[in-house]
Amino acid sequence: MHELSQMIKDDMKPALGVTEPGAIAFAVAKAKSYTKGTVEKVTVSMNSGMYKNAFTCGIPGTTEVGSAFAAALGAVAADPDKGLESLADVKDADVQEARKMLEEGKITARLEGITSRIFIKAEVETAEDAACVTIRDSHTNITEITVNGKEVFGTEPKDSYPVQEEEETVHPIHRYTLKELYEYADSVPIEEISFIEEAYQTNLALFHEGLESPRTTFARRLLNMNDGKEISKDEQATASLLCNAAIEARVIGLDKPAMSITGSGAHGIIATMPLYGAYKVNGYTKEQLLRATALSYLVCMYIKEYSGKLSAFCGCAIAAGSGMACALVYLRGGTVEMMAHTLNNMASSITGMICDGGNQGCTMKGIAAVDAAYKSVDFAMHGIYIDDVHGINGKTPEETMRNMGLIASPGMTGTEKTIVEIFEGKRRFFS
Cβ 277 vs Cβ 241: under 8 Å:
yes
In a domain, 318, yes or no: yes
| Phi, psi angles (nearest 5°) of residue 360 | -60, -25
What CATH number did the domain enclosing 40 receive?
3.30.1330
pLDDT at residue 425, as a whole number: 87
Q: Is 383 helix (H, G, I), strand (E, B) or coil?
A: coil
**pLDDT tens string 287-335:** 999 999 999 999 999 999 999 878 889 999 999 999 999 999 999 999 9
pLDDT at residue 168, as a whole number: 54
Q: Is 367 helix (H, G, I), strand (E, B) or coil?
A: helix
H/E element, 429: helix 413-430
Q: 128 and 267 in one domain?
A: no
pLDDT at residue 229, as a whole number: 98
285 lies in which domain range?
172-422
In a domain, 232, yes or no: yes
Q: 186 and 214 in one domain?
A: yes
What CATH number did the domain enclosing 235 receive?
1.10.4100
Q: 228 and 324 in one domain?
A: yes
Q: 199 and 127 in one domain?
A: no
Over the chain (431 residues), the average pLDDT of each successive run of 10 is 97 86 94 97 94 86 90 95 89 95 96 88 97 94 96 74 55 97 98 98 98 97 98 98 97 92 94 98 98 98 90 93 98 98 98 92 97 98 98 98 93 90 79 52
Q: 397 and 261 in one domain?
A: yes
Cα separation of 164 and 410, whole Å?
A: 10
Q: 220 and 133 in one domain?
A: no
Q: 284 and 136 in one domain?
A: no
Q: Which of 176, 83, 87, 175 is nearest to 138 (CA)?
A: 83
In a domain, 245, yes or no: yes
In a domain, 36, yes or no: yes
Total of domains in the chain: 2
Cβ 401 vs Cβ 306: under 8 Å:
yes
In a domain, 141, yes or no: yes
Q: 297 and 340 in one domain?
A: yes
Q: Alpha helix locations (H) across 252-386? A: 265-282, 286-307, 315, 321-331, 336-347, 361-381
Q: 408 and 340 in one domain?
A: yes
Q: Alpha helix locations (H) across 169-196? A: 178-187
Q: 228 and 149 in one domain?
A: no
Q: 129 and 101 in one domain?
A: yes
Q: 352 and 324 in one domain?
A: yes
Q: How many angstroms separate the most distant Cα atoms in the chain?
A: 69
